[in-house]
Amino acid sequence: MDFAQIVQTVALYALPVLFAITVHEAAHGYAARHFGDPTAAMLGRITLNPVKHIDPLGTIALPLMLYFATAGAFLFGYAKPVPVNFGRLRNPKRDMVWVALAGPGANLAQAIGWTVLLYALVFFGVEERFFTEMCEAGVLVNLVMFAFNLFPLPPLDGGRILVGLLPQPLAWQVSRIEPWGFFIVMALVITGVVSSLWMRPLMQLTGSAIKALLSPLRVLLF
């Protein structure tokens, strides 16, 4: 991959990635405040300022190193997690589910929004490939974040949702995985288990659901 292509790829994905990360994390903080925990609000994390959510290592350095090392074949990164004191939620076990769902839900909403914008560009005859490809990148990035974060293993959002839904004895057993969860998830990512058995099927299903949801708009525009 030549330098010009790398620059073009970074330019296409920079804005969608920043939006995807920022809105995802802010949504967690907003949901936590709504259900009784003001921790994120007090620390200034309920904001659309991406600087507040960027982790220099996980958001910038690690993805760039993996991108160059694998010629774009493998990417992984993370933002600074929004602090949530689950004990301060009004109903910790139930409300944990809603707080965890808020992040992936924000990514799903953004995937829908980028799709609508893509339809609008085509409808108005915008022929500049950069903008249409950015919309496609926005859909892809948010579908990736939506699917990955729903993987049912702590500390990912899907793991917290699982803990909130399971009966207390089983929830306690699953929650004990969290200290090693990151390393387990990374191993499953590297071996392709997460991608082939979870992310691809869920992304395809979600992409099809978005197209079905927006089919009336597509018929109206085209």
Contacts of 48 (CB under 8 A, 6+ apart): 22, 23, 26
Cα-Cα end-to-end distance for the chain: 36
- In sequence order, which ranges of the chain are alpha helices (DSSP H)? 3-34, 39-42, 62-69, 92-123, 129-149, 157-165, 168-175, 178-190, 193-194, 200-213, 215-221
Question: Which DSSP symbol is given to 82?
Answer: P
The answer to whether 178 is a known catalytic residue is no
Contacts of 26 (CB under 8 A, 6+ apart): 45, 46, 47, 48, 53, 82, 106
Query: Where in the sequence numbering do the catalytic residues fall?
Result: 25
